[in-house]
Amino acid sequence: MADSNESIWQVMQEKGYSRREFVQFCTFAATAAGLSSPAAAAVVEAFEKKQRPPVIWLHFQECTCCSESFIRASHPIVADVLLDALSLDYTETLQAASGHAAEKCLQDTLKTHVGKYILLVEGSVPIGADGVYCTIGGRTAEDILKEAAKGAAAVIAWGNCASYGCIQAAKPNPTNATPIHKLISNPVINVPGCPPIADVMVAVVTHILMFGRIPELDAQGRPKEFYGRRVHDTCYRRPYYDAGMFVEAFDDDKARKGYCLYKMGCRGPVTYNACSVTKWNGGTSYPIQSGHGCIGCSENGFWDNGPFYQHLPSFPGFGIESTADQIGTAVGIGAAVGVAAHAISTNLRKRQLIHEQPIEPTPTPEEGKVK
Amino acid sequence: MSNRIVIDPVTRIEGHLRIEAVVENGVVTDAFSAGTMVRGIEKILKGRDPRDAWAFTERVCGVCTTVHALASVRSVENALGITVPKNAELVRNLMFCAQYVQDHVVHFYHLHALDWVDVVSMLKANPVEAAKIAQSISPWEKNTPGHFAAVQSRLKKYVESGQLGIFANGYWGHKAYKLPPEVNLLAVSHYLDALEWQKELVKIHTIFGGKNPHPNYLVGGVPCSFNLEEVNAINTERLNHIGSLIKDAITFVEQVYIPDLLAIAGFYKDWATIGGGLQNYLAYGDLPTKGYGNVDSFLLPRGAILGRNLNEIHEVNGKNVEEIKEYISHSWYKYGAGDGVGLHPFAGETEFNYTGPKPPYEHLNVEGKYSWLKTPRWKEHPMEVGPLARMLVAYAKGNTDVKELVGAVLKKLDVPITVLFSTLGRTAARGVETQIVAHWMKNFYDELIANIKGGEMNTFTRDKWEPASWPATAEGVGMTEAPRGALAHWVRIKDGIIDNYQLVVPSTWNASPRDSKGQRSAYEEALIGTPVANPEQPVEILRTIHSFDPCLACAVHIYDPKGEQVHQVQFY
Per residue in B382-419, pLDDT tens?
A: 999 999 999 999 999 999 999 999 999 899 888 889 99
Give the list of residues 6+ apart from residue B318 with CB closer than 8 angstroms, or none.
Answer: B284, B324, B477, B479, B488, B490
Res B165: pLDDT: 93
In A180-288, DSSP assigns E strands to: 188-191
Assign A287 to helix, strand or coil.
Answer: coil
Res A147: pLDDT: 98
Res A15: pLDDT: 57
Q: Report yes or no on B344 lying in a domain.
A: no
Chain-chain contact of A167 with B462 (C-beta, under 8 angstroms): no
Q: B5 to chain A: which residues are within 8 Å by CB?
A: 99
Return the C-alpha torsion angle B528, B534, B539, B544, nearest 10. Answer: -10
Query: Would the pLDDT of A99 be above 60?
Result: yes
Which of the residues B12, B484, B489, B543 is marked catalytic?
B484
Report chain A's mean pLDDT, rounded to a whole number.
Answer: 81
Angle between helices B236-252 and B423-453 (to 10 degrees): 160
Q: Is B14 a catalytic residue?
A: yes
Provide mean pLDDT across the span B236-257.
98
Looking at domain A52-227, its CATH superfamily turns out to be NADH:ubiquinone oxidoreductase-like, 20kDa subunit (3.40.50.700)
Res A17: pLDDT: 63
Per-residue pLDDT tens over the stretch B105-152: 999 999 999 999 999 999 999 999 999 999 999 999 999 999 999 999
Of B41, B165, B553, the CB nearest to A82: B165
Closest C-alpha among B127, B352, B109, B90 to residue B253: B109
Angle between helices B145-160 and B127-137 (to 10 degrees): 130
Provide mean pLDDT across the span B156-182.
94
Res B571: pLDDT: 24
Q: Using 50, 70 and 90 to split pLDDT, how confident is the model at B251?
A: very high
Chain-chain contact of B218 with A250 (C-beta, under 8 angstroms): yes
Query: Would the pLDDT of B349 be above 50?
Result: yes
Res B138: pLDDT: 98
| H helix runs in A279-360, sequence order | 320-326, 335-354
* Ranges A93-102, A178-187, B423-432, B455-464: which has the least confidence: A93-102
Which of the residues B16, B20, B58, B61 is marked catalytic?
B61
Q: How many CA atoms lie within 13 A of B178 on its CB side?
A: 11
Q: How far apart are CA B460 and CA B106, in angstroms?
A: 32
Query: Would the pLDDT of A352 be above 50?
Result: no
Rounded to 5°, the CA angle B144-B147-B148 comes to 85
> At A237, which amino acid appears?
R
Per-residue pLDDT tens over the stretch B66-112: 999 999 999 999 999 999 999 999 999 999 999 999 999 999 999 99
Of A60, A251, A284, the CB nearest to B460: A251
Q: Report yes or no on B519 lying in a domain.
A: no
Of A96, A133, A237, the CB nearest to B167: A96
Other CB atoms within a 10 A radius of the CB of residue A322 amount to 10
Nearest-Cα distance to chain A for B194, in Å, is 10
Distances (CA, A) of B535 to B115, B167, B544: 15, 20, 15
Q: Report yes or no on B410 lying in a domain.
A: no
Res B28: pLDDT: 95
B149 sits in the region (left: phi over 0; alpha: psi -120 to 50; else beta) called alpha
Give the list of residues 6+ apart from residue A157 with CB closer than 8 angstroms, or none.
Answer: A121, A163, A179, A180, A181, A188, A189, A190, A191, A192, A221
Res B346: pLDDT: 67
Q: Report yes or no on B37 lying in a domain.
A: yes
Q: A108 to chain B: which residues are within 8 Å by CB?
A: 168
DSSP secondary structure, B76-89, as one string: HHHHHT----HHHH
Which of the residues B72, B75, B371, B507 is marked catalytic?
B507
Res A9: pLDDT: 60
Q: A128 to chain B: which residues are within 8 Å by CB?
A: 561
Return the C-alpha torsion angle A148, A153, A154, A155, nearest 10. Answer: 10
Report the CATH number of the A231-354 domain: 4.10.480.10
Rounded to 5°, the CA angle B381-B539-B188 comes to 115
Q: Report yes or no on B157 lying in a domain.
A: no
In chain A, which among 33-52 make CB contacts under 8 A with chain B? 51-52
Give the list of residues 6+ apart from residue B390 with CB closer than 8 angstroms, or none.
Answer: B283, B285, B300, B429, B433, B481, B485
Q: B462 to chain A: which residues are within 8 Å by CB?
A: 249-251, 365-368
Distances (CA, A) of B524 to A137, A236, B33, B277: 19, 53, 6, 8
Res B477: pLDDT: 92
Chain-chain contact of A250 with B465 (C-beta, under 8 angstroms): yes
Q: Highest mean pLDDT: which of A341-345, B523-527, B531-535?
A: B523-527
Res A42: pLDDT: 44
Chain-chain contact of A88 with B166 (C-beta, under 8 angstroms): yes
Q: Which domain holds residue B476?
A: 2-114+197-270+423-511+531-555
Find the farthest-apart pair of alpha carbons in chain B and give their distance in angstroms, rounded. Answer: 74
Res A6: pLDDT: 54
Closest residue of B to A177, CA-based?
A: B39
Percent of chain B residues past pLDDT 70, beyond the cut: 95
Give the list of residues 6+ apart from residue B320 with CB closer than 8 angstroms, or none.
Answer: none
Q: How far apart are CA A303 and CA A295, in angstroms?
A: 9
Provide mean pLDDT across the span A290-296.
98
Q: Report yes or no on B497 lying in a domain.
A: yes
Percent of chain A residues past pLDDT 90, beyond the cut: 68
Number of domains in chain B: 1
Per-residue pLDDT tens over the stretch A227-247: 999 999 999 999 999 999 999
In chain A, which among 257-316 make CB contacts under 8 A with chain B? 257-258, 275, 280-282, 284-292, 295, 297, 303, 306-309
Per-residue pLDDT tens over the stretch A83-92: 999 999 999 9
Which of the residues B12, B14, B16, B104 is marked catalytic?
B14
Q: How far apart are CA B405 and CA B438, in angstroms?
A: 13
Q: Is B61 a catalytic residue?
A: yes
> At B422, which amino acid appears?
S
Res A341: pLDDT: 43
Q: A83 to chain B: which residues are within 8 Å by CB?
A: 154-155, 158, 165
Q: What's B63's domain CATH number?
A: 1.10.645.10
- Asked if residue A228 lies in contact with residue A343, where contact means CB atoms within 8 angstroms, the answer is no
Provide mean pLDDT across the span A272-281.
98
Which of the residues B329, B390, B554, B557 is marked catalytic?
B554
Residue spans of the domains in chain A: they are 52-227, 231-354
How is residue A246 annotated by DSSP?
B
Provide mean pLDDT across the span B23-28.
94
Q: Pick B379 or B334 by higher pLDDT.
A: B379
Per-residue pLDDT tens over the stretch A132-188: 989 999 999 999 999 999 999 999 999 999 999 999 999 999 899 999 999 999 999
Q: How far apart are CA A281 and CA A285, in angstroms?
A: 7
Query: Would the pLDDT of A354 be above 80?
Result: no
Closest residue of A to B206, CA-based?
A: A285
Q: Is B254 a catalytic residue?
A: no
Query: Would the pLDDT of B348 be above 70?
Result: no
Res A121: pLDDT: 98
Q: How far apart are CA B50 and CA B40, in angstroms?
A: 17
Res A43: pLDDT: 43
- Asked if residue A169 lies in contact with residue A159, where contact means CB atoms within 8 angstroms, the answer is no
Chain-chain contact of B206 with A64 (C-beta, under 8 angstroms): no
Q: How far apart are CA A134 and CA A127, in angstroms?
A: 9
Chain-chain contact of B461 with A370 (C-beta, under 8 angstroms): yes
Q: Using 50, 70 and 90 to split pLDDT, how confident is the model at A119?
A: very high
Q: Report yes or no on B245 lying in a domain.
A: yes
Residue of A52, A251, A271, A292 to mutate, interface with B, max B Cβ within 10 Å: A251
Of A105, A137, A368, the CB nearest to B221: A368
Q: How far apart are CA A193 and CA A295, in angstroms?
A: 10
Report chain B's mean pLDDT, rounded to a whole number.
Answer: 92
Percent of chain B residues past pLDDT 90, beyond the cut: 84
DSSP secondary structure, B108-145, as one string: IIIIIGGGT--TTGGGG--HHHHHHHHHHH---TT-SH
How is residue A71 annotated by DSSP?
T
Which of the residues B329, B384, B551, B557 is marked catalytic?
B551
Per-residue pLDDT tens over the stretch A355-366: 444 333 333 334
Q: How far apart are CA B188 and CA B191, in angstroms?
A: 5
Query: Would the pLDDT of B561 be above 90?
Result: no
Decide if A206 touches B, using CB distance below 8 A: no
Residue count (chain A): 371
Query: Would the pLDDT of B431 be above 80?
Result: yes
Q: Report yes or no on B277 lying in a domain.
A: no
Assign B299 to helix, strand or coil.
Answer: coil
H or E segment to which residue B150 belongs: helix B145-160
Query: Would the pLDDT of B264 be above 80?
Result: yes
Chain-chain contact of B561 with A4 (C-beta, under 8 angstroms): no
Q: Using 50, 70 and 90 to split pLDDT, how confident is the model at A316?
A: very low
Res B52: pLDDT: 98
Closest residue of A to B215, CA-based?
A: A287
Assign B66 to helix, strand or coil.
Answer: coil
Which of the residues B16, B18, B68, B520 is marked catalytic?
B68
Q: How far apart are CA B224 and CA B218, in angstroms?
A: 9
Res A360: pLDDT: 39
Q: Using 50, 70 and 90 to split pLDDT, how confident is the model at A22?
A: low
Of B61, B168, B231, the CB nearest to A97: B168
Residue count (chain B): 572
Res A12: pLDDT: 58
Indicate the pairing of strand B17-24 with strand A54-59. Answer: unpaired
Q: How far apart are CA B486 and CA A60, in angstroms?
A: 25
Query: Would the pLDDT of A44 be above 50?
Result: no
Res B343: pLDDT: 79
Query: Would the pLDDT of B500 be above 90?
Result: no
Q: How far apart are CA A162 and CA A72, in angstroms?
A: 20
Closest residue of B to A366, CA-based?
A: B462
Res A350: pLDDT: 46
Task: Using CB atoms within 10 Å of the CB of residue A201, give its burial: 0 to 12 exposed, 13 to 18 middle, 19+ buried.
Answer: buried
Size of interface A-B (CB pairs under 8 A): 363
Indicate the pairing of strand B281-283 with strand B497-504. Answer: unpaired
